[in-house]
Amino acid sequence: MNPEAANHDIAALSYEQAREELVAVVAQLEAGAATLEQSLALWERGEALAARCEAWLQGATARLDAARGPASE
């Protein structure tokens, strides 16, 4: 899978889906059974999944801040 296609499919994941896949990626890396090339691909996917989770959390924070209104600033 090329990196752009991988990022596109990550962009479509919900927070929960991205988090679950990230946990699976970490488990695979910790197992240490992958080749160097596979490990690098897993690491890159994990980084993209972590960024997706972070984007979801930032979006949720922004929505909460907006819902609270100016009084919370």
pLDDT digits (tens, 9 = 90+) for 57-70: 999 999 999 999 88
Q: Where are the domains of the chain?
A: 3-72
Helical axes 15-31 vs 36-68, angle rounded to 10°: 150
The span from the CA of 48 to the CA of 53, in Å, is 9
Cβ–Cβ under 8 Å, residues 25 and 45: yes
- For 21-66, the pLDDT digits (tens) are 999 999 999 999 999 999 999 999 999 999 999 999 999 999 999 9
Whole-prediction pTM: 0.79
The span from the CA of 17 to the CA of 33, in Å, is 24
